[in-house]
Amino acid sequence: MKKIVSALAILLLVCLVLTTLASCKTEETDSLVIYNWADYIFDDKLTDFKEYYRDITGKNIDITYVTFDTNETMLTRLTKGDSNVDVVCPSEYAIQKLIELDMLVPMHYFDEQAYTEDFSSNVRLAPDGDEVYYIHNSGNVEQGIIDKVSDAFGSIEITAEGSNQHKKVSMVDYFVPYMYGTLGILYNKYAFKELGIYDEEILNRANWGILFNDDGQGGLLSEGLTGSILMKDSIRDSYAATVFYLLESGKLDGLKNDDGVAYADMSVGDLINAVDDQLLALVKDALTEQKTHLFGYEVDFGKDDLLTGNAMVDLAWSGDAMYAVEESWNDSLGDEGDYELSYYVPHSTGNIWFDGWVVPKTRNPAHTDAIKLFINYLNRPDVAAANLLEIGYSASVKSDVIKSDEAARAVLAEGYAVYAPELWDAADEDGNPLSQEDCDFADWEEFELYFFHNSYLDEDGNLVSYDEISNSNWRYPFESAATNADNYRNIDSLGVMRDFGTKNKAVVTAWNYSRSAGVNALPLLGWTALAVAVAVGAVYLVIYIKRVVRQNVKIPQKNKPDDSGSEQ
């Protein structure tokens, strides 16, 4: 009997093991390690990707999401060689450095056959009934980004020792565009109106001089701006803005670089990347002189200072600016309310930047399916719409692709409270139906004009820009350039910055000098000593008050113990 019981037990155990193994096989889980900027993706879309991945491959996926705060932090981690991340999202100049160091795997995203040829057999590449299958999304990417990157970086030479040393490659083969934006000027237009400088002719003559309180003709733009200007605490962005200012103000007239090329004759792209000693000295001097007009330097709080009235002007990134402008709506301004802040990219010259996904050589090759499916997934129109809504910057997916996709329109309609019942259930958080009056936009057409064209229709049906100074669309500069090429900004006026290379140390030195110039140690020490004295005095004052209070407080007799320890 015991033998029979033992045999049955063994049989049950074998069945259990086989069942467990079969279950493991059907519940097989892949992994993906993402290294990205903080707050640079819509979290819900990571969850949606897991579902999409299961639909495409039949497998689950675990995602590890790690963040960095600067390109330099990311570069340090990757170049140490002990990083096991699968996909990274650097800025364009950092991608250049990684390519030069031969640290990236070419993806060839814009060649569908090359991109998909190393997928495993798990990936469903063709339709099979009603099942979800892979759709390559490279055609959704704005071509202008590819053109800009190709023009700016050309052939990049790999400098790291090894079999690829001196090989020249294209950045387009190594990265997939994700987000992009511009560098410009965020300002309080109602404060400018009070100063009498909110004028198309005045501000379009001053351009980048607004940051230097220069009217573009060598004079002061406004005494009221002194002490109310913020500068970005960023070497690259401040350098670019200052070079543009020097060009516009005529301070580069007649000057040539070491190769004998006049600065004034350079393209915007070449000028923004010029870092010879002469130009660097001019930038340092201009930034040092600028300090007399500054409220201070900032990285992330400039928009708050403008909203609270501490400052009037800030060198800003378009995504931050968009957030600040939308937050500045004031019902009491104008006839029916207005945005208090506005964002302006000078028509003469400007900087456009890009972030994109790359794959480091230290990735786990077993994660190839997850890597490539994730990157391609981000260029789906509804995912791009969710990300640009969450992040604030411009998604690399073309605006026309987003506008023509119903799922993408639904994402934006709900996110911006558009009265469009055909796209989403127009209801509040409690499920109560929203009326047209309850929504921020009366219909999709009104929202589309605002979001994609920065415009609205007046009472007479005329198309009017929300910002008559810039009169262009800072969310979609490529579309704006095509529309306003004759009268306003042409996309060629926006340059892409490359890595400073061997001149990086010199640029950092000049920047540190400009930031600290004019700070006198003696007054600083004096104020520090005064602060210490006040603090010490305050402490003694508190102690003195406490003693006086104790002396005047009478302890109730019934709570006072006698010598024996009992209460009286």
CA–CA separation, 386 vs 145, rounded Å?
20
The predicted structure's pLDDT at residue 22: 44
The predicted structure's pLDDT at residue 480: 58
CA–CA separation, 540 vs 327, rounded Å?
45
Exposed e or buried b per residue across 287-326, where buried means at least 16 C-beta atoms within 10 angstroms of its C-beta: bbebbebbbeebeeebbebbeeeebbbbbbbbbbbbebbe
Mean pLDDT calculated for residue range 97-105: 97
Hey, how many other C-beta atoms are within 10 angstroms of the C-beta on 348?
16
CA–CA separation, 546 vs 470, rounded Å?
62
Residue 469: pLDDT above 90? no
Residue 344: pLDDT above 90? no
Which carries the bigger pLDDT value, residue 79 or residue 211?
Answer: 211
Residue-wise pLDDT for 231-268, tens only, equals 999 999 999 999 999 999 999 999 999 999 999 999 99
CA–CA separation, 257 vs 266, rounded Å?
10
Mean pLDDT calculated for residue range 24-36: 80
The predicted structure's pLDDT at residue 249: 92
Residue 543: pLDDT above 50? no
Cα angle vertex 316, ends 310, 322, to 5°? 95
Mean pLDDT calculated for residue range 113-130: 91
Q: Which residues contact 567 (CB under 8 A, 6 or more apart)?
A: 558, 559, 560, 561
The predicted structure's pLDDT at residue 116: 96
Do residues 119 and 125 make contact, with C-beta atoms less than 8 angstroms apart? Answer: yes
Single-letter amino acid code for the residue at 83: S
How far CA 119 is from CA of 37, 116, 141, in Å, comes to 27, 6, 22
Residue 283: pLDDT above 90? yes
The predicted structure's pLDDT at residue 531: 46
Mean pLDDT calculated for residue range 68-95: 91
The predicted structure's pLDDT at residue 27: 61
Residue 72: pLDDT above 80? yes
The predicted structure's pLDDT at residue 357: 98
Per DSSP, 568 falls in state: -
Which carries the bigger pLDDT value, residue 303 or residue 174?
Answer: 174
Which carries the bigger pLDDT value, residue 565 or residue 517?
Answer: 517
The predicted structure's pLDDT at residue 518: 54
Mean pLDDT calculated for residue range 353-381: 97
The predicted structure's pLDDT at residue 537: 53
pTM: 0.84
Do residues 31 and 64 make contact, with C-beta atoms less than 8 angstroms apart? Answer: yes
The predicted structure's pLDDT at residue 337: 84
CA–CA separation, 482 vs 122, rounded Å?
43
Mean pLDDT calculated for residue range 510-523: 67
Do residues 401 and 380 make contact, with C-beta atoms less than 8 angstroms apart? Answer: no
Hey, how many other C-beta atoms are within 10 angstroms of the C-beta on 169?
18
H or E element at residue 161: none
Provide the residue count of the chain. Answer: 568
Per-residue confidence at 115, pLDDT binned at 50, 70, 90? very high
Mean pLDDT calculated for residue range 88-110: 97
Long-range CB contacts (< 8 A, 24+ apart) of 276-281?
Answer: 277/506, 279/243, 279/246, 279/252, 280/503, 280/506, 280/507, 280/510, 281/510
Residue 12: pLDDT above 90? no
CA–CA separation, 118 vs 43, rounded Å?
28
Residue 427: pLDDT above 90? no
Distance of CA 125 to the CA centre of its chain: 33
Report the DSSP pairing between strands 176-188 and 350-357: antiparallel
Mean pLDDT calculated for residue range 443-458: 88
Mean pLDDT calculated for residue range 133-160: 95
Residue 8: pLDDT above 80? no
Q: Which residues contact 164 (CB under 8 A, 6 or more apart)?
A: 102, 158
Q: What is the mean pLDDT of the chain?
A: 84
Bridge partners (DSSP) of residue 169 are 156
Per DSSP, 555 falls in state: P
Per-residue confidence at 23, pLDDT binned at 50, 70, 90? very low
Q: CA-CA-CA-CA torsion for 5, 10, 14, 15, nearest 10 degrees?
A: 0
Three-state SS across 536-551?
Answer: HHHHHHHHHHHHHHHH
3 state DSSP class of 61: strand
Q: Which residues contact 276 (CB under 8 A, 6 or more apart)?
A: 257, 258
Per-residue confidence at 554, pLDDT binned at 50, 70, 90? very low
Residue 558: pLDDT above 80? no
The predicted structure's pLDDT at residue 430: 81
Which carries the bigger pLDDT value, residue 136 or residue 518?
Answer: 136
Report the DSSP pairing between strands 29-37 and 87-88: parallel
The predicted structure's pLDDT at residue 185: 94
Which carries the bigger pLDDT value, residue 251 or residue 432?
Answer: 251
Which one, of 322, 317, 321, 323, lies nearest residue 351 by Cα?
Answer: 317
